[in-house]
A and B are shown apart, each in its own frame.
Chain A
Amino acid sequence: MAEGDPSTDAASATRIVGWQHPWIGYLSSAPAMIIVAVVLAFPVVFAAWQSLFDLSPLQDETPFIGFGNYIDVFSEQTFWSSLGRTAIFVFGVIVLGLTLSIIFAFALNRVVSGLRFIRGLAILPYIVSSVAAALMFRTMFNNEFGFPNQILEMLGFGAIPWLSDGTYAMIVVIFAQVWTDLPLALLFILGGLQTIDKQLTEAALVDGATGLRSAIYISLPLIAPQITLATVWLSFKAVTSLGTVLALTGGGPGDSTQLLTLEMVRLGFDEYETGTAMALVIIIFVLNAALTVSYLGLQRKFGTK
């Protein structure tokens, strides 16, 4: 697009004569830009900058130490173990979240009457805060009166120590996380399904494909972009999840659900290791970006055009 010289650009600020001062544009967007810059952009830059200094509050000097904080982080065993737990957590959330959202979306897509009502229900968890959701899951998975255990006992199995065993606690945390973040993933995929031309699936039916096969071979490849979007969303939320885990297990039992984000809070707010905490912030950013890029790459490689 040719921008022309400033005077003609100004003349067409909008096409209406008299609505043509370019500074109106700058002036109306400036407050929003400034607030966003201070609240969202500045902290990222600030964190990146601060992560290069030794910022323990116990000392007077704050020397520049380059990647020293990163080296510190990487040499800590706790970092690697919490990174490993985060990997398990994120993987679990994506697998469970995608499975459920695809199944539920296909079901919702087939329902004609009453669709609004069930879809409305499906979106409800979206409006629950992470803390409230964690609390509800704590109640539900209580070892003594929780429903899963009641059912297990009714069926003659033993009760499971959901929240006092490390492995089971991770499973409960994954469930709680998926529960809160499923609605949007579900909507993405449902939206994709609704754009599929009915004639395609009908043609598949005529060609002898059953509902399930047509879903797998026709519909799924067509909604690859939406599945990718859902993956990005679930992954983003899982990598940066804090409230759910903090309120549900607090990282425990032991440190079995101590994720990177909880580690960052511990370093920064409990141990006052400002520089290392900042380094961890940046590491979480980079991890997020790297994951997102790789999902998009996967889609480009395997998805349909």
Chain B
Amino acid sequence: MLWLPLAALVLWTMGPFLISLSVSFKQPAMVFADPGLIPDEPTLDAYIRVLERPGFQKALWNSIVIGFGSLFITLLVGVPAAYAFARFRFRGRHLLLLFSLLPMLAPKVGLMFPLFLLSVELGAFDSRLFLIFVFTGMLLPLAVWLLVGFFQAIPRELEEAAAVDGATQFATIRTVIMPLAIPALITVAVLAFREAWNEFELVLALTQTADSRTLPYELFLMQDATGIADFPIQNAFALLTIVPLVLVYLRIERYVAEGLLSGAVK
């Protein structure tokens, strides 16, 4: 009896992937002529055409720049904030923490329009820099939330031991806290990068030209641009945007699982 729901789960999850994969290996004309799952004449033609498209190349570059840019700033700004919330005692810290987490609940569709107006007002419409800024704001609550929990889980004694061992405040953070935080940082980074990489609504609202739009928007536009639906190229494009994330996901499971702290206390 157990196999039935499990088979359904696998079919449910993998079905769309497999069909997409199958179509992406066909010639556009063969999609209708050869509807089978295994293509009769598999070809990389669709992938080559995607990779050769200037629109794809630009969007890929934009996605990389904006994804890593916002990820970098998120960590740069989020780590000190999370550490402060987790360790320092300052007036109003609970309120401030709440204030930085609560906006997580603001739906992005609601932000599209006000942010669009703001970008026009600032002359930042259709700018990658502004997108990086906006994405950073979008990623921060998640990052801060995860990191605060993580920093709080690091035993205080480790920092005290470092202080007694002659480490300055900065050296403690560099030599003790950060190395221990690496698994958490990687987890946060991957989750945050996924958000940025897949973001569609805000890119739709804040960009106009190929100079700044990212992969999801480019993919969205390509549906119209290809005229009569070119299914192989669309699916190849979609799969190419997914592959980097899949590869990263397969790698981080290790970090999440590893109980690096197991030997820290007792």
* A–B: direct contact at CB < 8 Å: yes
Interface set of A (CB-CB < 8 Å, partner B): 3, 6, 9, 12-16, 18-19, 22-26, 28-29, 31-33, 35-44, 46-47, 50, 100, 103-104, 106-108, 110-111, 116, 118, 120-133, 135-137, 139-140, 142, 144-145, 147, 150, 179, 182, 211, 236, 239-243, 246-247, 261, 264-265, 268-269, 274, 277-278, 281-282, 284-285, 288
Chain B nearest CB, measured from A174 CB (Å): 14
Chain A nearest CB, measured from B67 CB (Å): 12
Count of A-B contacts with CB under 8 A? 270
Given contacts A46-B118, A120-B253, A246-B220, contact A132 B242 (CB under 8 A): yes
Chain A nearest CB, measured from B5 CB (Å): 4
Given contacts A14-B88, A32-B144, contact A284 B110 (CB under 8 A): yes
A39 x B134 contact (CB < 8 A): yes
Given contacts A136-B20, A145-B32, contact A110 B2 (CB under 8 A): yes
A122 proximity list for chain B (CB < 8 A):
9, 13
- The 4 A-B residue pairs whose C-beta atoms are closest, nearest first, are A39-B137, A40-B103, A25-B90, A43-B114
B106 proximity list for chain A (CB < 8 A):
40-41, 43-44, 285
Q: Mark B115-146, 1 if CB is under 8 A from A, else 0.
A: 11110000000000000011011101100100
Chain A nearest CB, measured from B10 CB (Å): 6
Residue of B nearest to A179 (CB): B16
B171 proximity list for chain A (CB < 8 A):
none
A46 x B114 contact (CB < 8 A): yes
Q: Is B96 on the interface with A (CB-CB < 8 A)?
A: yes
B159 proximity list for chain A (CB < 8 A):
16
Q: Is B246 on the interface with A (CB-CB < 8 A)?
A: yes
A36 CA / B134 CA spacing, docked (Å): 9
B49 proximity list for chain A (CB < 8 A):
none
Chain B nearest CB, measured from A43 CB (Å): 3
Partner of A107, one of B6, B141, B231: B6
A136 x B235 contact (CB < 8 A): yes
B100 x A33 contact (CB < 8 A): yes
How many residues from B make CB contacts under 8 Å with A?
89
A167 CA / B36 CA spacing, docked (Å): 27
B136 x A128 contact (CB < 8 A): no
A29 x B100 contact (CB < 8 A): yes
Given contacts A135-B235, A240-B109, contact A29 B201 (CB under 8 A): no
B249 proximity list for chain A (CB < 8 A):
123, 127
Chain B nearest CB, measured from A1 CB (Å): 9
Given contacts A129-B198, A129-B216, contact A47 B17 (CB under 8 A): no
Chain A nearest CB, measured from B32 CB (Å): 5
B134 proximity list for chain A (CB < 8 A):
39
The prevalent SS among residues of B at the interface is helix
B114 x A36 contact (CB < 8 A): no
Chain A nearest CB, measured from B112 CB (Å): 7
Which residue among A26, A118, A139, A277 has the maximum number of chain B CB atoms within 10 Å of its CB? A139
Residue of B nearest to A24 (CB): B88
Residue of B nearest to A264 (CB): B109
Known: A40-B104, A127-B198. 4 other contacts (CB 8 A): A15-B160, A43-B114, A136-B17, A136-B238
Q: Is B87 on the interface with A (CB-CB < 8 A)?
A: yes
A33 proximity list for chain B (CB < 8 A):
81, 96, 99-100
Residue of A nearest to B144 (CB): A32
Q: Is B62 on the interface with A (CB-CB < 8 A)?
A: no
Which residue among B37, B77, B118, B217 has the maximum number of chain A CB atoms within 10 Å of its CB? B77
Q: Is B180 on the interface with A (CB-CB < 8 A)?
A: no
Q: Which of B194-217 contact A (CB under 8 A)?
A: 194, 197-201, 204-205, 215-217
A29 proximity list for chain B (CB < 8 A):
80-81, 84-85, 93, 96, 100
Chain A nearest CB, measured from B76 CB (Å): 8
A211 CA / B8 CA spacing, docked (Å): 19
Given contacts A179-B16, A243-B201, contact A14 B113 (CB under 8 A): no
Chain B nearest CB, measured from A128 CB (Å): 6
A/B interface sample: 14 pairs, CB < 8 A = A6-B91, A19-B163, A35-B137, A41-B103, A44-B110, A111-B6, A125-B16, A130-B198, A131-B219, A135-B20, A136-B19, A140-B19, A144-B35, A284-B109
